Amino acid sequence: MHNDKFISKSEIGIFIFALVLPFIFDFSPYIQGLLIFVMLWVVLGTSWNLLAGYTGQVSFGHAAFFGIGAYAAGVPFFLFKVSPWWGLLFGGITAVILGYLLGIVVFRLRGPYFALGTLAAAEILRIAFGQEEWLTNGHNGILYITTWVSKYPYYFIILAIAAGTILTVKVVMRRREGYYFLSIREDEDAASAIGINASKYKNISMGLSSFWAGMAGAFYFIYMGFIDPETVFALHNISIISILVGIIGGVGTIWGPAIGAIIMVLLQETFRSAFFGFAPQWVSGMHAFVFGLLVIFVILYLPGGVVGDWDLIKKKLHLKRKSEMKK
């Protein structure tokens, strides 16, 4: 873990590629939108992965941070016409505060109870934000005319947030905090016996994780121009998606969630468009079904995810090619 270079050449290459991508190709607004969604899911998955994959605290309620970040941009605008762009400042911080408060409750719980506790907390927020109309405009949501028509500026913003999230994980995992996160994940009792204050470091992990999820939420409002509680606090479309992105790409790996996000967005769009019009129309409703199947497959056969079990995948493919060559 500590012998490889901090940032490899290929990682710089990937970043530069993502940066110049819009200048090379003339993408349609549809593709531009997809790129933005990939990045959004990269942020969510990577932030979930820091808390769950590296620290072992499997959150089922990441929508709480995403949603509170979105409303940190939305509420000041709704009440006082404050520009939603301030959300990029408030979103992350608000989410960290929420994370700290939540931590007081949920970090008393271990394993599956922690998962249920976070899930319940996010659901309570979803219901509450739907009810408190004076603050949030309830289920009518908050609407705002977005600043730019072009999607490109938004792409660069979310790319920066995604880079920030991944860089955070990379930096943290080389420091004392990272070693402590892993120790807590592997065995909390053994961790405390070597002097690790488990609850302090779980809070740090939660803080970093919720910050970036909150930033993603704030960005979502700025970019979409509309939020309501059912969208930004959604159990399936936010909390569960964060988990799926992490599991499919690879829990506890730096690039896993990014790969997972790309795979899932590609898959979703392939099905939504009914294989770009080549398949019958009914296929278009099946993307969530395919996600479910994919999760089942990955948990059964690739428990480390695409990145974590990459060697296994290579070996399988290699063996197959070999046996084909013999024929």
Residue from 101, 171, 293, 319 touching other proteins (CB under 8 A): that is 293
Number of residues that bind other proteins (CB under 8 A): 66
Q: Which residue has 């979930």 as its token pair?
A: 48
Nearer to other proteins, 14 or 313 (CB): 313
Residue 101 touching other proteins (CB under 8 A) = no
Residue 255 touching other proteins (CB under 8 A) = no
Minimum CB separation of residue 90 from other proteins in Å reads: 25
Q: What is the C-alpha separation between 90 and 75, in angstroms, rounded?
A: 11
Q: For the chain, how many helices (H) and strands (E)?
A: 16, 2
Residue length, the chain?
327
Residue 148 touching other proteins (CB under 8 A) = no
Nearest partner of 85 among 98, 72, 95, 68, judged by Cα = 72
Label residue 200 exposed, middle or buried (CB < 10 Å: 0-12, 13-18, 19+).
exposed
Nearer to other proteins, 131 or 147 (CB): 131
Residue from 1, 24, 145, 325 touching other proteins (CB under 8 A): that is 1
Nearest partner of 59 among 215, 199, 246, 200, judged by Cα = 246
Site map (CB under 8 A) of other proteins, residues 53-72, x = contact: x--x-x--------------
Residue 29 touching other proteins (CB under 8 A) = no
Residue from 19, 85, 123, 168 touching other proteins (CB under 8 A): that is 123
121: how many CB neighbours lie within 10 A of its CB?
Answer: 20
Residue 180 touching other proteins (CB under 8 A) = yes
With beta carbons less than 8 A apart as the criterion, state whether 118 and 243 touch.
Answer: no
With beta carbons less than 8 A apart as the criterion, state whether 50 and 209 touch.
Answer: yes
With beta carbons less than 8 A apart as the criterion, state whether 158 and 39 touch.
Answer: yes
Residue 254 touching other proteins (CB under 8 A) = no
Q: Which residues of 85-106 are buried (b: 16+ CB within 10 A; e: fewer)?
A: eebbebbbbbbbebbeebbeeb
Minimum CB separation of residue 36 from other proteins in Å reads: 24
Residue from 95, 159, 172, 196 touching other proteins (CB under 8 A): that is 196
Residue from 95, 166, 191, 213 touching other proteins (CB under 8 A): that is 191
Site map (CB under 8 A) of other proteins, residues 34-53, x = contact: ------------------xx
Q: CA dihedral defined by 63, 69, 74, 75, rounded to 10 degrees?
A: 100
Q: Which residue has 């792409």 as its token pair?
A: 155
Minimum CB separation of residue 286 from other proteins in Å reads: 7
User: Residues in the site for other proteins, rule: CB under 8 A?
Assistant: 1-2, 52-53, 56, 58, 105, 108-109, 111-113, 115-117, 119-121, 123-124, 127-128, 130-131, 174-176, 179-180, 182-183, 185-187, 189-198, 235-236, 240, 243, 247, 251-252, 282, 285-286, 288-289, 291-293, 295-296, 299-300, 303-304, 308
